[in-house]
C-alpha cells in the first residue's frame, strides 16, 4: 500500500484520444499508444518489440478468418444477395428504417450477450444485408435517397452493429474484458466473480439500447429535415 502508483503509462490513452481526434490511421495510433505505454512503464525497446511480435503471433489467425469471409460474401453479392435483401423489406408495408435498425440492435445485443459475436459484423452482415434492407425501407416510404442520405443510412447501420456488439458482449461472462477485470481485482485483493462483473454490464447495455433506439427512431425525420430524396430533386430540376 506504501508503493507509489506509476501513472505515466496512462499517456497511452492520451495518444489514442489525440490520434482519433486528428483522424490518423487507426493501426498506427494503436501501435503508437502501445509503444508510449510500454516505454512509460519502464519496458526497454527490445523487450517491448518482442511483446509486439508475441501479440501478433497469437492473433495472426484472426486475419485469415476475416479474409476467408470476404470471398464468400462477394460471391453471394454477385448472385443478388443485396437485391434480394432490399426487395424483402419492400414487401413489408410497416417496415421503416428506425424499426428495422432497432430490431437489429436488439438481436445484436442479445446474441453478443450470449457470446455469439460472429453472427453480425460489417463485412458479413452490415454491408451485404442490413444496409440494403435499410435502403429498401427508406425507398418504400420516401423514394430513392440522395447520395448524402444513402451514406448516412449506411453509417448508422454500421454504428448500430458497433453499439449492439460493444455493450452486448460486456454481459458475456467469458468475454476477455470481464476476465481481465476479474483478474485485476483478484490481484489487488478484491474478491469478486466474473458472473457478478458481467451482470453489472446489464444496466449499461440497457441504457445503450434505449438511447440508441431513440436516435434510430428519429433518423428518418432528421434525414428528411436536412436533405430531400434524389428523385424529388430530379423532378424539381426538370
Of all residues in the chain, the percent with pLDDT exceeding 70 is 86
Higher pLDDT, 46 or 55: 46
- What does the alpha-carbon distance between residue 17 and residue 8 come to, in Å, rounded to a whole number? 16
The C-alpha cell that represents 205 in the structure block: 447495455
Grid cell listed for 44: 526497454
> Higher-confidence residue: 152 or 75?
152
Number of H helices, E strands in the chain: 12, 0
As a whole number, the mean pLDDT across the chain is 83
Angle between helices 131-142 and 81-90 (to 10 degrees): 40
pLDDT of 206 strictly over 90 = yes
Whether 195 shows a pLDDT value over 50: the answer reads yes
Give the three-class secondary structure for 227.
coil
Which of residues 221 and 80 earns the better pLDDT score? 221
State the pLDDT at residue 234. Answer: 47
Task: Choose between 236 and 188: higher pLDDT.
Answer: 188
Amino acid at each position: 500500500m506504501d508503493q507509489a502508483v506509476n501513472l505515466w503509462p496512462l499517456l497511452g490513452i492520451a495518444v489514442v484520444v489525440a490520434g482519433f481526434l486528428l483522424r490518423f490511421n487507426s493501426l498506427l495510433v494503436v501501435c503508437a499508444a502501445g509503444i508510449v505505454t510500454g516505454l512509460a512503464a519502464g519496458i526497454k525497446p527490445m523487450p517491448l518489440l518482442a511483446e509486439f511480435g508475441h501479440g501478433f503471433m497469437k492473433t495472426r489467425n484472426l486475419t485469415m478468418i476475416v479474409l476467408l469471409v470476404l470471398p464468400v460474401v462477394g460471391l453471394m453479392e454477385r448472385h443478388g444477395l443485396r437485391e434480394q435483401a432490399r426487395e424483402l423489406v419492400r414487401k413489408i408495408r410497416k417496415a421503416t428504417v428506425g424499426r428495422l435498425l432497432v430490431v437489429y440492435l436488439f438481436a445484436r445485443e442479445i446474441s453478443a450477450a450470449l457470446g455469439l459475436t460472429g453472427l453480425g459484423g460489417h463485412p458479413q452482415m452490415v454491408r451485404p444485408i442490413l444496409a440494403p434492407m435499410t435502403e429498401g425501407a427508406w425507398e418504400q416510404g420516401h423514394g430513392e435517397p440522395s447520395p448524402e442520405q444513402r451514406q448516412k443510412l449506411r453509417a448508422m447501420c454500421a454504428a448500430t452493429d458497433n453499439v449492439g456488439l460493444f455493450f452486448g458482449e460486456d454481459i458475456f461472462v467469458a468475454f476477455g474484458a470481464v476476465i481481465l477485470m476479474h483478474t485485476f481485482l483478484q490481484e489487488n485483493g478484491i474478491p469478486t466473480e466474473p458472473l457478478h462483473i458481467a451482470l453489472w454490464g446489464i444496466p449499461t447495455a440497457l441504457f445503450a439500447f434505449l438511447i440508441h433506439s431513440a436516435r434510430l427512431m428519429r433518423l428518418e425525420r432528421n434525414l428528411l429535415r436536412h436533405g430531400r430524396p434524389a428523385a424529388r430533386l430530379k423532378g424539381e430540376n426538370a
